[in-house]
Amino acid sequence: MKEEISDILGKIVGQPCTRREVGRSRSLSLGFGDEAGDRNQEEGRHYKTWEIETYYDAWRVVKGATVLLSSIDSNDLNELNHELNSIELGGFSSTRELTELDVRVELDNGVSVDFLGTTADDDEYFHVFGPEKSYIQFSRAGWKTGRSDRPWVDGPEESAGAPGLA
């Protein structure tokens, strides 16, 4: 992982997981920190300062060598959400690449969340929405940063120069 991406993600360290949701297509969203007032509150969601997500790739929640929950455990979103909410998720500790396709988010209570790349195209496997419309993504092409509120004409910016990321 690029040092500048590590520095950005370092800003989440210690933030508690204050929102969690399994959504359409068994997407996973984890919110850290306070409520983000600059994001739309669509569909009753209350987004947090930092949102770590995947739209449709596989994920699993683990503690040590035990899988506590995974995206394939059920087709019922209510059941997945119930199970996810029964797991004690600690504060953000770190993020690391498990493989060239997979990312692990480590929490300070020994629980980790693995985001597992499963698509053949170059869409992101893992992404982070941050303060001031900042955005980080991880895909087959690696780590990229940019803004979440405008199109990426030639892809995301290569540097961490987006607002909220410096």
pLDDT at 44 (0 to 100):
64
Q: What angle do CA 160, 98, 2 make, to 5 degrees?
A: 20
- Name 82's Cβ contacts closer than 8 Å, sequence gap at least 6: none
Q: What is the pLDDT of residues 27-82, one digit of tens each?
A: 999 999 888 765 555 556 678 999 999 988 899 999 999 999 999 999 999 999 99
Q: Looking at the predicted structure, is the pLDDT value of residue 153 above 90?
A: no
The string of pLDDT tens digits covering residues 92-145 is 999 999 998 999 999 999 999 999 988 777 678 899 999 988 899 998 888 998
* Whole-structure pTM value: 0.85
Cα distances (Å, whole numbers) of residue 42 to 46, 51, 116: 8, 15, 27
Rounded-to-integer distance, Cα 30 and Cα 129, Å: 10
Q: What is the CA radius of gyration of the chain?
A: 15
Largest CA distance in the chain: 42
Q: What CA dihedral angle connects 138, 92, 21 and 81, to 10 degrees?
A: 120
Average pLDDT over residues 86-92: 96
User: Residue 163 above 50 pLDDT?
Assistant: no
The HSE-up count of residue 89 (CA atoms within 13 Å, CB side) is 26
